[in-house]
Amino acid sequence: MHYTDYDTRLAAYAVITDDQGRVLLALWNEGSRRQWTMPGGGVELDEGVEQAVVREVREETGYDVVAGALLGVDTYVLPPHRRLNDSNRSLKAVRTVFRAEIVGGELTPERDGSTDEARWFTLDEVRGLDRVSIVDISLRLAGLV
């Protein structure tokens, strides 16, 4: 496959925990069904991954955060028939995962975006949620599971 035969999407996600050991998740609304995901999303052309994760967390949760350690990078290829748009090209997803710390703001749902709720969950509660793969990947990278 030649590099012009597919699209690439760079994204940044945050693992945020509180002093009770709960993890912050956002409810993604763009798939075939609503599923929980890590706060985060696509990196804009004019920003770095650290800037993107701070912006995305603010948009999706209302919290101001500081990006911490890069926990890892996950990649996968999505075939054209599984994409949300009508593209006939595969998509290579490159997902960076950071630890992040809340420094301000308050829990507020995103309006008119790719998520419509954010909520704190215990790790036991997360196991029972309908969730996208980045949740388990992120929690594993953070050493929480």
Length of the chain: 145
Q: Which helix (H) or strand (E) holds 133?
A: helix 133-141
Q: Provide the CA 57 distance to its chain's centre, in angstroms.
A: 9
| 3-class SS of residue 109 | coil
Q: What is the pTM of this model?
A: 0.91
Total domain count, the chain:
1
Query: Above 70 in pLDDT, residue 2?
Result: no
Where do we find the tokens 């999407």? Answer: 9
Residue 1 has pLDDT above 60, yes or no: no
Task: Report pLDDT digits (tens) over 75-123.
Answer: 999 888 777 777 788 889 999 999 999 999 999 988 888 888 999 999 9
- pLDDT digits 0-9 by tens, 51-75: 999 999 999 999 999 999 999 999 9
Q: What is the CATH number of the domain that holds 65?
A: 3.90.79.10
How many degrees, rounded to 5, is the angle at CA 135 between CA 134 and CA 141?
85
Give just the sign of the alpha carbon dihedral 57, 68, 78, 44.
positive
Q: What is the pLDDT of residues 13-32, one digit of tens each?
A: 999 999 999 999 999 988 77
Give residue 41's region: left, alpha or beta (phi > 0; psi -120 to 50): left
> Do residues 23 and 107 make contact, with C-beta atoms less than 8 angstroms apart?
no
| Rg of the Cα atoms in the chain | 15
Q: What is the DSSP letter of 44?
A: P
Residue 41's pLDDT is 95
Q: How many CB atoms lie within 10 A of CB 44?
A: 12
Range of the domain at 113: 3-141
- pLDDT for position 138: 98
Of 110, 32, 26, 40, the C-alpha closest to 70 is 40
Whether 3 shows a pLDDT value over 70: the answer reads no
